[in-house]
Amino acid sequence: MTDILRIVIAPLVWLAAFTTVYALHGLVCGHAIGGMPFGTISVPRLLLVSAYALAICAQIILLISLYARRFATQSEFVRFVSRATGWTALVATVWTLLPTVTMSHCL
Amino acid sequence: MKALERHREFSRIWASAPGFKGLFSTVNHTDLGRMFLVTAFFFFIVGGILAMLIRAQLATPHSAFAEPDLYNQIFTMHGTIMMFLFAIPTFEGLAVYLLPKLLGTRDLAFPRLTAYGYWCYVFGGGMLLFSMLFGIAPDSGWFMYPPLTGAISSPGINTDFWLIGITFVEISAIAAAVEITVSILKFRAPGMSLARMPIFAWYALVTALMILTGFPPLILGSILLEVERAFGLPFFQAEFGGDSLLWQHLFWLFGHPEVYIIFLPAAGVISTVLPVMCRTTLLGYGWIVAAAVALAFLSFGLWVHHMFTTGIPHMGLAFFSAASTLVAVPTGVQIFAWIGTMWKGRPDLRLPMLHILGFFVTFVIGGLTGVMVAVVPFDWQAHDTAFVTAHLHYVLFGGFVFPILAGLYYWLPHFTGRQRFFYLGEAAFALIFTGFHVTFLAMHWVGLLGQRRRISTYMPEDGWTTINLISSIGGFILAIGIAMVLIEVILHMLTSRRSPRNPWSAGTLEWAMIIPPAPYNFASLPHVTSREPFTDDPELAVRLASGEGYLGRPNDLRETLTVEITSGKPDYHVIYPTNTHLPIIMAAVTGTFFLSLLLKAYWCIPIAVIGVAALAWRWVWVLGRKQDLPVQDIGHGIELPNASTVEHSPGWWGSLFLLVANATFFGSLLFGFAFLWTVAPGWPPPAWFDASAVELALGTTGAMVGAAAIRRARRANALRQPPLAWLGLCFAGTLTVAIAAAAITLRVPAPVEHAYAATLLVLGSYALFHASLGMLMVAFLVSRTALGFTSAARKTEFPVVQLWIDYLGVIAILVFLVVHLTGWLS
Amino acid sequence: MLVGCDGALSIVDPAGPAARSIALLWWVMLVGGVLIFGLVMVLIALSFRKRAACEDDAGSARLWIVKLGIAFPVTVLLALLAYGLVIGEQLLPRESGETVIVRAEARQWAWNFSYDDLPGRTTQDVLHIPAGRPVDISITSTDVIHSFWVPRLAGKLDAIPGHVNTLRIEADRPGTYQGLSAEFSGSGYDRFTFQVIAHDETGWQAFLTGETE
């Protein structure tokens, strides 16, 4: 069972981060925190971008653990698949949450 | 013992009751798999006839063939039947039939559950058919958006048929998913590690896990909408703090994964059949497994792309647009791995291969148009037009029907034991392929010319006449092709010659048996050392039949063994239940529950609930023994403990995965609550919950006491001390939880006045239901212990109950916190 | 008629800036899609050539999976995603001085339009706008979900009870444009259409002073 978890953990964390950022976005837009400035950058942008950065950090840590000898698995196959899904999750995090940086947030 | 003698002996042990009557009591996966497939194909024909009616209606402008009221029922039922009564059950049937054979074992993990799922499917599907025959079928489109489906706009019983019938059918999907997950993880031939599993098993595992996490949001949505319609709790009504968008979120949270739930098994068929057609092995097995897992997860991050036009801010849309384009990458990995497989081998244009080529052409176009509608601005134009209808048919027909037809022709000799003889199939393929593309290719264009989906008629001056006529002609060509497949299969079953074993020279285990298969599959279980055991050892079938594998000695019991998940080392020994009518009776009583809801005969509901509980009690009870089973010799010098003496029995695994589905349901409910609170108009509510520190403390303590007491009971039993006192304490704790939950349901402000109170009522009822279930389980364990069915060795029921009590504890504490804290915060 | 682009409801016959940029997006995607489809079909066809079997699985995996299966789609999709999101940003109803604001309220099966510039005036199933100026439509519904769609001017946006969504449309030239409700809404759905009349400057002034019926 730990081997199954090893395969799914990184994408699962992506899914959690993705949903959380989407919910956060809904929250800031739904509750008119919209305009508040924080220096030169608006509060919602700051929140969303920090969540994005956090999600990427989590994925990098997971990927390092999947390569670490300390958490190694017996099965070479599981090692390969879990690293592949780990990379997928990292790419997915960078890719799908990039709009937090580039898009206008509440229009 | 000779092979023939062994065959007779095993057949006697495993056979279903003879004749037609045997179908009602069979629990054998080969029988049930066939029954699933035949029933699903029947619904495919029904759905296809409805499609023909749609095309007849749209063939000409000003059509007077069907009035809108009838036409709305036709297209709603076409979508509903194809999705819920054809596609998903076909996967279930194929998996139920094939998996034990591919995995080198004798049956699935829970044979009676397979049968129960099948009967739920038949009865639920029957309800929908009934509604159609009497002209009271659902008529709001297969995704049932409220407020159109609410009590005001749709007062008739039509919508209830959908909500209740589909929920009933989904029990079957959840049952099959639990079954398939546990079977793949635990019920394999010794030596079959995760790396040696046939690729179809990986796809089926991923699909089953997706069903477990994808279906609960829809089940929740259906329950909420039905409760709104029946009792006026306003979850989706904007003027009372509800929001119709909540339905769309819940529906597509199911609906998008659903598309991949349909595609992945078909991809599993291609990954299995294509290499055999090319006389080689699959290129990039590990890559494909990773791609399937990635696809499964990404597909849960796409749901909002069905909601691009609902006014969600552009950044929100951008997340989902990005995810929707990204999901094309793992799909691309699979497509190119398959093409690479073709380059690696020598493809032969036999019939299954023709359908695979049909798949490539069709699915690649569907994928490309899918990427197009994933681009937000284009979707603003294309959404709800015939372009989307065309796209989704390319994906579903290309990504499901063609692969399934390939699989049908590939495994037909296995189903029937006969050779293909009537060469109608090639002509049928030509008609299906031509007909499909004639119907749907130009439909993209008519969508761009502004034809909406779901209209029943149009004007000549709209300029859509020619394309629609061509589409309709194509539709009828396609129908003739499907009819020819049906005729060929029937003729084949009646008259063909016997097929040789392994007609395609495949390497997987399902061919290492007599065909059509004997009810026990393998007279002895193989030891697997590679992904294609039958290629490595062409004599394997004979050696297994003569008892050279494991468990080759018939001893009057239906026996098999389980393995450790990763390594495939033998784990423990399992004895299956035999033929019984319990599943069909249980499904009938479950159906009574749903029927009472449908007909608003609420007095009957408690009777049905008690009936289900009593039958469930009996279901588990009959598995018990009063003596410890000794360690079992499975051959080759290996001895295994029996499942009744292990920590993690099949029942524990089944409970675990059922609870995964349950937790998704609960999570969706919490999401719904948060969504309504933050997004819905019409908040704050007129009255808040009157929070009570006493109830909160009482409920939380009860949950913790229950969880602690079941642990002590388990330990006492292991130490040969009487566990009854601890079980009593556990019961008391669970009862306290029930009381605290009941208090919530009784004290919420008027639930028909605001979605806030309505949601609290559902949360309280959810905790109350689980507390009652926990009490039933503890009572069961008390009876078992008192009557001597447990011992220090026969301990396996304790961990199962502990799992449920733990789950109860977690959800109950969350419910209490959410309910009482929201009361205080306001 | 089979391949003609024109039509009162055709999104490939655009008559406004939003519809035009989406139509261009469509043509770009169509060309790209056809090229990719052609590539895949050629690769499949070539697999049927007679040749020696290839035994180098690792090499094949690198070519087929890493290069064709991952690198190729990632490149194409990133470009397309960026293109689509940039267009999407441009079409958003940002604040600007000269926007005309109209309120659209849907019910089964009629649209009521009211005008901020002309309080008190409502029109049913006919929307009046000035040509050549951006118009923001605030869309809502009083019963079930509908959708506001004028295919030749812009994409669609849903009318949802309890929510107000804003869609920007603009017509290049004066004229009459066909509109549809594009969310299934029950038995009257087929006929649930409306018209948009784009006026020239004098016509719009006439409308604002109440001279147009």
Q: What is the pLDDT of residues C58-82, one digit of tens each?
A: 888 888 988 899 999 999 999 999 9
Cβ separation of C77 and B325 shorter than 8 Å? Answer: yes
Q: Which of A38-47, B188-197, B406-415, B579-588 has the lowest mean pLDDT?
A: A38-47
Q: Are residues C47 and C121 in the same domain?
A: no
pLDDT, mean over chain A = 88
Q: Which of A42-51, B197-206, B338-347 has the lowest mean pLDDT?
A: A42-51
3-state secondary structure of B662: helix
Q: What is the pLDDT of residues B305-336, one digit of tens each?
A: 999 999 999 999 999 999 999 999 999 999 99
Chain A residues in contact with C89 by the CB 8 A cut-off are 103-104
Chain A residues in contact with B313 by the CB 8 A cut-off are 25, 29, 105-107
Task: Using CA coordinates, name the residue in chain B closest to C13.
Answer: B449
3-state secondary structure of B298: helix
Q: Are residues B72 and B144 in the same domain?
A: yes
ipTM: 0.96
The encoded tokens of residue B824 equal: 């205080």
Residue C186 in contact with partner chain B when CB distance is under 8 A = yes
Q: Are B264 and B289 in contact (CB under 8 A)?
A: no
3-state secondary structure of C64: helix
Name the more confident of C52 and B324.
B324
Cβ separation of B344 and C69 shorter than 8 Å? Answer: no
- Tell me the pLDDT band of B803, cut-offs 50, 70 and 90: very high
| Rounded Cα–Cα distance for residues B800 and B145 (Å) | 39
Which percentage of chain A shows pLDDT scores above 90?
A: 60
Residue C161 in contact with partner chain B when CB distance is under 8 A = yes
Q: Which of B546-555, B728-737, C143-152 has the lowest mean pLDDT?
A: B546-555
Instruction: Show the domain range for B739.
Output: 684-825
Terminal Cα-to-Cα distance of chain B (whole angstroms): 77
Compute, in degrees rounded to 10, the torsion defined by CA atoms B504, B508, B509, B515.
-20
Instruction: Show the domain range for A73.
Output: 2-31+40-102
- Tell me the pLDDT band of B423, cut-offs 50, 70 and 90: confident
Asked, for residue A86, whether it belongs to a domain, the answer is yes
Name the more confident of A42 and B571.
B571
E-strand spans in B469-569? 559-563
3-state secondary structure of B56: helix
Task: Using CA coordinates, name the residue in chain C closest to B285.
Answer: C61
pLDDT, mean over chain C = 92
- Given a cut of 50, whether residue B509 has pLDDT beyond it is yes
| Number of folded domains that form chain C | 2
- Paired sense of beta strands C118-124 and C110-115, if any: antiparallel
Burial B462-492 (b: 16+ CB within 10 A, else e): bbbbebbebbbebbbbbbebbebbbebbeeb
Chain A residues in contact with C93 by the CB 8 A cut-off are 107
Q: What is the pLDDT of residues A67-94, one digit of tens each?
A: 988 778 888 999 999 999 999 999 999 9
Mean pLDDT for C29-53 is 91
Asked, for residue B402, whether it belongs to a domain, the answer is no
Q: What is the pLDDT of residues B224-248, one digit of tens each?
A: 999 999 999 999 999 999 999 999 9
Task: Using CA coordinates, name the residue in chain A closest to C86.
Answer: A103
Q: Are B573 and B559 in contact (CB under 8 A)?
A: yes
Residue C3: per-residue pLDDT: 60
Residue A102 in contact with partner chain C when CB distance is under 8 A = yes
- Residue C52 has a CB neighbour count (10 Å cut-off) of 6
Q: Are residues B735 and B692 in the same domain?
A: yes
Which percentage of chain C shows pLDDT scores above 90?
A: 80
- Paired sense of beta strands C175-181 and C146-149, if any: antiparallel
Q: Are residues C200 and C113 in the same domain?
A: yes
CA distance B584 to chain C (A): 38
Cβ separation of A73 and B297 shorter than 8 Å? Answer: no
The encoded tokens of residue B441 equal: 């290719």
Where is the domain boundary, C60, C90, C120? C90
Q: What is the pLDDT of residues B437-471, one digit of tens each?
A: 999 999 999 999 999 999 999 999 899 999 999 99
Task: Using CA coordinates, name the residue in chain A closest to B564.
Answer: A1
- Given a cut of 90, whether residue B2 has pLDDT beyond it is no
Angle, helices B351-374 vs B386-396, to 10°: value is 140
| Rounded Cα–Cα distance for residues B610 and A6 (Å) | 41
CA distance B325 to chain A (A): 9
Cβ separation of B332 and C68 shorter than 8 Å? Answer: yes
Q: Are residues B134 and B255 in the same domain?
A: yes
Q: Are residues B727 and B759 in the same domain?
A: yes
Q: Are residues C113 and C199 in the same domain?
A: yes
Residue written as tokens 């806030």?
A: B756
| Closest CB from C43, C69, C155 relative to B337 | C69
| Closest CB from B237, B244, B329 relative to C70 | B329
Residue B340: per-residue pLDDT: 94
Chain C residues in contact with A85 by the CB 8 A cut-off are none
3-state secondary structure of B68: helix
Compute, in degrees rounded to 10, the torsion defined by CA atoms B380, B383, B384, B390.
150
Q: What is the pLDDT of residues C169-201, one digit of tens each?
A: 999 999 999 999 999 999 999 999 999 999 999
Instruction: Show the domain range for C65.
Output: 17-90
- Given a cut of 80, whether residue B1 has pLDDT beyond it is no
CA distance B153 to chain C (A): 8
- Which whole-number Å values give the CA distances from B376 to B309, C17, C92, C157, in the listed order? 9, 16, 12, 12
The encoded tokens of residue B128 equal: 């929908």
CATH number at residue B97: 1.20.210.10
Asked, for residue A107, whether it belongs to a domain, the answer is no
Residue A99 in contact with partner chain C when CB distance is under 8 A = yes
Q: Are B645 and B651 in contact (CB under 8 A)?
A: no
Residue written as tokens 């016509």?
A: C203
Cβ separation of C92 and A102 shorter than 8 Å? Answer: no
| Rounded Cα–Cα distance for residues B104 and B512 (Å) | 9
Q: Are residues B149 and B85 in the same domain?
A: yes
- Tell me the pLDDT band of C42, cut-offs 50, 70 and 90: very high
- Given a cut of 70, whether residue C55 has pLDDT beyond it is no
**SS3 per-residue string spanning B727-783:** HHHHHHHHHHHHHHHHHHHHHCCCCCCCHHHHHHHHHHHHHHHHHHHHHHHHHHHHH
Q: Are B782 and B724 in contact (CB under 8 A)?
A: yes
Asked, for residue B117, whether it belongs to a domain, the answer is yes
E-strand spans in chain C? 100-107, 110-115, 118-124, 126-130, 135-141, 146-149, 157-159, 165-169, 175-181, 193-199
Partner A, chain C 50-89, Cβ-Cβ below 8 Å: 85, 89
Asked, for residue C63, whether it belongs to a domain, the answer is yes
| Rounded Cα–Cα distance for residues B133 and B294 (Å) | 42
pLDDT, mean over chain B = 95
Asked, for residue C8, whether it belongs to a domain, the answer is no
Asked, for residue C7, whether it belongs to a domain, the answer is no
Residue C1: per-residue pLDDT: 44
- Given a cut of 80, whether residue A107 has pLDDT beyond it is no
Where is the domain boundary, C64, C90, C116? C90
Q: Which of B310, B382, B391, B304 is nearest to C19 (CA)?
A: B382
| Number of folded domains that form chain B | 2
- Chains contacting B (3 or more CB pairs within 8 Å): A, C
* DSSP 8-class letter at B18: S
Cβ separation of C93 and A107 shorter than 8 Å? Answer: yes
Which percentage of chain B shows pLDDT scores above 90?
A: 93
- Residue A39 has a CB neighbour count (10 Å cut-off) of 7
Q: Are residues B654 and B696 in the same domain?
A: no
Asked, for residue A48, whether it belongs to a domain, the answer is yes
Chain B residues in contact with C2 by the CB 8 A cut-off are 442, 445, 466-467, 470
Cβ separation of A75 and B314 shorter than 8 Å? Answer: no
Mean pLDDT for B138-160 is 94
Residue written as tokens 């653990």?
A: A65
| Rounded Cα–Cα distance for residues B81 and B86 (Å) | 6
Asked, for residue A13, whether it belongs to a domain, the answer is yes
Cβ separation of C94 and A103 shorter than 8 Å? Answer: no
Chain C residues in contact with B337 by the CB 8 A cut-off are 61, 64-65, 69
| Rounded Cα–Cα distance for residues B5 and B106 (Å) | 18
Q: Are B187 and B565 in contact (CB under 8 A)?
A: no
- Residue A16 has a CB neighbour count (10 Å cut-off) of 12
Task: Using CA coordinates, name the residue in chain C closest to B380.
Answer: C155
Task: Using CA coordinates, name the residue in chain B closest to A77.
Answer: B195
- Given a cut of 80, whether residue B432 has pLDDT beyond it is yes
- Given a cut of 80, whether residue B218 has pLDDT beyond it is yes
Q: Are residues B139 and B47 in the same domain?
A: yes
Residue C93 in contact with partner chain A when CB distance is under 8 A = yes
Asked, for residue B37, whether it belongs to a domain, the answer is yes
Asked, for residue B338, whether it belongs to a domain, the answer is no
Residue B365 in contact with partner chain C when CB distance is under 8 A = yes
CA distance A106 to chain C (A): 10
- Number of A/B CB contacts below 8 angstroms equals 113
Burial B185-217 (b: 16+ CB within 10 A, else e): bbbbbbbbbbbbbbbbbbbbbbbbbbbbbbbbb
| Rounded Cα–Cα distance for residues B266 and B407 (Å) | 8
Residue C167 in contact with partner chain A when CB distance is under 8 A = no
The encoded tokens of residue B257 equal: 């994964």
Residue A74 in contact with partner chain C when CB distance is under 8 A = no
Residue B65: per-residue pLDDT: 83
| Rounded Cα–Cα distance for residues B519 and B82 (Å) | 30
| Number of folded domains that form chain A | 1
- Which whole-number Å values give the CA distances from C155 to B179, B303, C22, C152, C166, in the listed order? 45, 20, 8, 9, 12
| Closest CB from B309, B314, B372 relative to C89 | B314
Task: Using CA coordinates, name the residue in chain A closest to B671.
Answer: A23
| Closest CB from A99, A102, A107 relative to C92 | A107
On the CB side of B515, CA atoms within 13 Å amount to: 22
Q: φ and ψ at B169, to 5 degrees?
A: -65, -35
Chain B residues in contact with A16 by the CB 8 A cut-off are none
CATH number at residue C123: 2.60.40.420
Residue B79: per-residue pLDDT: 96
- Tell me the pLDDT band of B283, cut-offs 50, 70 and 90: very high
Residue written as tokens 């008027």?
A: B750
Instruction: State chain C's maximal CA–CA distance in angstroms.
Output: 82
Residue C81 in contact with partner chain B when CB distance is under 8 A = yes
Task: Using CA coordinates, name the residue in chain B closest to A52.
Answer: B319
Asked, for residue A47, whether it belongs to a domain, the answer is yes
Which spans in B59-67 are helix H? none
Q: What is the pLDDT of residues C97-108, one digit of tens each?
A: 789 999 999 999
Angle, helices A76-96 vs B314-326, to 10°: value is 150
Cβ separation of A99 and B322 shorter than 8 Å? Answer: yes
Give which of B245, B252, B371, B387 to mutate to test C binding, by max C Cβ within 10 Å. Answer: B371
Asked, for residue C2, whether it belongs to a domain, the answer is no
Asked, for residue B577, whether it belongs to a domain, the answer is yes
DSSP codes of every residue in B362-383: HHHHHHHHHHHHHSHHHHHHHT
Q: What is the pLDDT of residues B40-71, one digit of tens each?
A: 999 999 999 999 999 999 999 988 788 889 99
* DSSP 8-class letter at C195: E
Is there a cis peptide before residue B684, judged by omega within 30 degrees of 0? yes
Q: Which of C125, C95, C115 is nearest to C191 (CA)?
A: C125
Asked, for residue A15, whether it belongs to a domain, the answer is yes
Residue written as tokens 């990954």?
A: B271
Residue B238 in contact with partner chain C when CB distance is under 8 A = yes
Residue C50: per-residue pLDDT: 73
Chain B residues in contact with A3 by the CB 8 A cut-off are 194, 565-566
Cβ separation of C92 and A103 shorter than 8 Å? Answer: no
Where is the domain boundary, C59, C90, C121? C90
Asked, for residue B395, whether it belongs to a domain, the answer is no
DSSP codes of every residue in C149-191: E-TTT---EEE-BT--EEEEE--SSSEEEEEEE-S--STTGGG
Q: What is the pLDDT of residues B335-360, one digit of tens each?
A: 999 999 999 999 999 999 999 999 99
Q: Are residues C128 and C202 in the same domain?
A: yes
- Which whole-number Å values give the CA distances from B187 to A64, B254, B357, C29, in the listed order? 33, 28, 34, 47
Asked, for residue B607, whether it belongs to a domain, the answer is yes
| Rounded Cα–Cα distance for residues C21 and B699 (Å) | 59
Q: Which of B201, B361, B332, B331 is nearest to B265 (CA)?
A: B201
Q: Are residues C39 and C132 in the same domain?
A: no
Q: Please, what is the Cα angle at B148 between B444 and B678, to 5 degrees? A: 100
Where is the domain boundary, B665, B693, B727? B665
Mean pLDDT for B264-285 is 96
- Given a cut of 80, whether residue A34 has pLDDT beyond it is no
The encoded tokens of residue B554 equal: 């018939």
